[in-house]
Structure 1
């Protein structure tokens, strides 16, 4: 029995209609918890008629419709002209890899030879490519059904026929109804489930298509930053000269942070700052309101604790009032943290006070992953590169920049860059002049571009 919200939660902003198979709606709702802007309205549908009816009911209630699978999306698109954006949960290699690995494991455990595997829904070219990266010996044993041109009955018959005539000993299906019917008929079948990462990407695209989201991109953000216990920090300095240097260093750190936000900074005193930016830029810099790197920089460089209050609003007055309320909450919590007050006076926080150094490496190309590992690009290094690229859109590095990111010596960074260039992972580009010294070589990690683009991350050209 699904325990899913079916009525609106008035504290959230953007109503999204979820229509489709109940077993697929449940994991989508779980992932939706990490999207505070969405208010899910759920309509489980057991058949095609229910899918169209539920979608039609939701058109006047939601800003975006989200279908659980491509079949439901195509059906509603054909039957129902929609005035709101429509999206669906696409299939990817992540779910396929997991399913094929289960088949191979079951074959090993049964000690029976694998006669073949039938697959539906995925295009033939995609399946061949993924199999090549998993186990090339399977290429001649894969039978693919063109699910786009087949009914559920035809897909079922395709799997069952190959199993009955002995050309297949297992089936992979991305259609839940087909998978259940095959199991009931005694045909071994593994259901290809969508991965959480696929759900996140699809929901991000749905969010970006909404009118509310587009208007919020340019919404005003006001930030108030206070250095905690600044007087005691000053008293610990040996001279006035050191105090002045500290103040300049703190202001320079603030300016660097505001530059990334394309914002405007005003010092209100030696230990208090006010800044302005837009919501879209602030969200990207903070990873979707999850962390704020300014605090960790101040702590690491100067041993200072920051209290930060952020306010959103449709006017500067509202945003400023909310920022002050957020700062009070930060102080009430003991300082050294950050809260956000949104335009409806709801709170977000406290935020993490440092950015994550890791990145979710959900590679779908096994060949690429093998190539990366053979070139000595470890998972730890790769994760830091992706974390930096996803935040700054940066794929180009000099040896000095790479050394700072990976916590290496410049000599080691140079050696690794040459090694990765030889493996085709990095490309030497233009020479960059740094000060009065000799120009330094810039390397671009081109292999990361496609992966990051799939996640909707904008990159520098």
Structure 2
């Protein structure tokens, strides 16, 4: 099952966290949005028995939680770093709001962070004032500090990491920009939160079985000039896969001329794939030898269960057209496709087994579903015209019409709109609602 993590904070930061969390298929967010940071304590306490870790939108909410209503689960907060100032400075300068003689007033960051950022951007000549009072100063105190710096300064510009301070500065018509955490800061915090959960700790040493096959290996053999070239290619591929499995501290054994089986542990596999996001082996194979791979990964409480799940995942990767990797977990949820030789536009969250059964009962074969998921991951597309779907599934337009009617009767597909054509009648656009609702 997915690991539940509580997300508590103001709407703007929570929205950013949820956007980044889409790349963490193991995490399931439970959200509590608060209007004021001091309300975070009550919101966090209400989640204590429901989640395995808490992620707060900043250090101030974390302080309120620890002081007023301590909770028994690990608490993490999204930090503000120099990366947030980089972005705010860039946007202010791009919009022409930051002159060469500007006077900057900054809170929520240390002076060393601010000066290092300005130095790296070549802006160290600017006059800067950094608030160095109590780290949990009230919004009113911060507003007073910024007003004092801006007095008599036509070129003053404020950078604040506190939402209420930004709102008050806007009311006072003081030029300002909001410091927000970068995506990298959020990713690091989510990784720490994930590692702190009991579910994650318990699965660190769980067995993982992987199956790798070279796509269309028979055609590669036919194109080879001699038996010597074929044997050399096999050795090169074997060496490449062996190096990758070595990075997983795993064990590799070849199953056939174009298939390999490896074993590793879940903790190592998760770290090497960046939390089930990308398979470096696939890009290496494509860059070095111009080949693509189909990979199936299986998790399980036993080696037998993990092996069966790996075989199931491999079938889905092959059915998707190759150059794909799917993961089937111990609860039969499906993750994938991961990023392979081609980049993907989004990492898809795990698909519930009940949703998979619903699709299968409506006549959507595993091959069709795998192709849909692979295409959606690479192009972020949920809406199709009939001819687009036919091309993507490699079937006739007539067959696509028949399948769409069948899936529409089961509630999987619906009409999203009409597309006007230069000539002829408008074409219907179909949306796969059962996937769009799940992911979007």
Judge same fold: TM > 0.5, yes or no.
Answer: yes
Alignment of 1:171-320 (within 5 A): 171-234=158-221, 237=224, 240-299=227-286, 304-320=291-307
Q: Counterpart in 2 of 1:50?
A: 39
Q: Do 2:92 and 2:98's aligned partners in 1 also have CA atoms closer than 8 Å? A: no
1:72 Cα offset (Å): 0.7
In the alignment, is the contact (CA less than 8 A) between 1:119 and 1:145 conserved in 2?
Answer: no
1:271-308 residue CA offsets vs partner (Å, 9 max, x unmatched): 33221111222233333333334344445555554332
Q: CA RMSD in A?
A: 2.8
Query: Quick one: distance in 2 between partners of 1:92 and 1:186?
Result: 26
Contact 1:330 1:336 in 2 (8 A): yes
Aligned position for 1:153: 140
2:62 counterpart of 1:78: no
Cross-structure match for 1:137: 125
* d(CA) in 2 for partners of 1:76, 1:93: 25
Contact 1:66 1:87 in 2 (8 A): yes
Unaligned runs of 5+ in 1: 1-11, 357-461
The answer to whether 1:60 aligns with 2:36 is: no
Q: Distance in 2 between matches of 1:328 and 1:45?
A: 45
Q: Deviations over 1:22-69 (max 9, x none)?
A: 222111111111111111111111235521111110111111111101
Do residues 97 (structure 1) and 86 (structure 2) align?
yes
The separation in 2 between residues aligned to 1:98 and 1:148, in whole angstroms, is 22
TM score, norm. by length of structure 1: 0.67
Structure 2 counterpart SS, 1:287 = coil
Cα gap change, 1:128/1:290 in structure 2, threshold over 3 Å: closer, same or farther? closer
Instruction: Describe the SS at the equivalent of 2:340.
Output: coil
Gaps of 5+ in 2: 344-440
Give, in whole Å, the separation in 1 of the partners of 2:104 and 2:148.
12
Q: 1:242/1:93 Cα in 2 relative to 1: closer, same or farther (>3 Å)?
A: closer
Q: Normalized against structure 2, the TM-score is what? A: 0.70
Query: Is residue 337 of structure 1 aligned with residue 324 of structure 2?
Result: yes
Kept in 1, the 8 Å contact 2:242–2:252? The answer is yes
Shift of 1:182: 1.8
Structure with the larger RCO, 1 or 2 (CA within 8 Å, 6+ apart)? 2
The aligned residue for residue 17 of structure 2 is: 28
Which piece of structure 1 moves more, 144-153 or 236-245?
236-245
Work out the number of aligned pairs and report it.
342
| Cross-structure match for 1:3 | none
How far is the alpha carbon of 1:199 from its aligned partner? 1.5
Q: Is 2:157–2:175's contact at 8 Å kept on the other side of the alignment?
A: yes
Q: CA deviation at 1:15?
A: 0.8
Partner residue, 1:119: 106
Looking at structure 1, the residues matched to 104 and 318 of structure 2 have their Cα atoms a distance apart, in angstroms, of: 61
> Which residue is 1:455 aligned to?
none
For the residue of structure 2 that corresponds to 1:136, the secondary structure is coil
* Residue 40 of structure 2 is aligned to residue 40 of structure 1: no
2:2 paired residue among 10, 13, 18: 13
Contact in 2 for aligned 1:145/1:155 (Cα 8 Å): no
C-alpha contact 2:93 2:99 (8 A) present in aligned 1: no
The superposition leaves residues 64-88 of structure 1 with CA deviations (integer Å, 9 ceiling, x where unpaired) of: 1111011111111122222111010
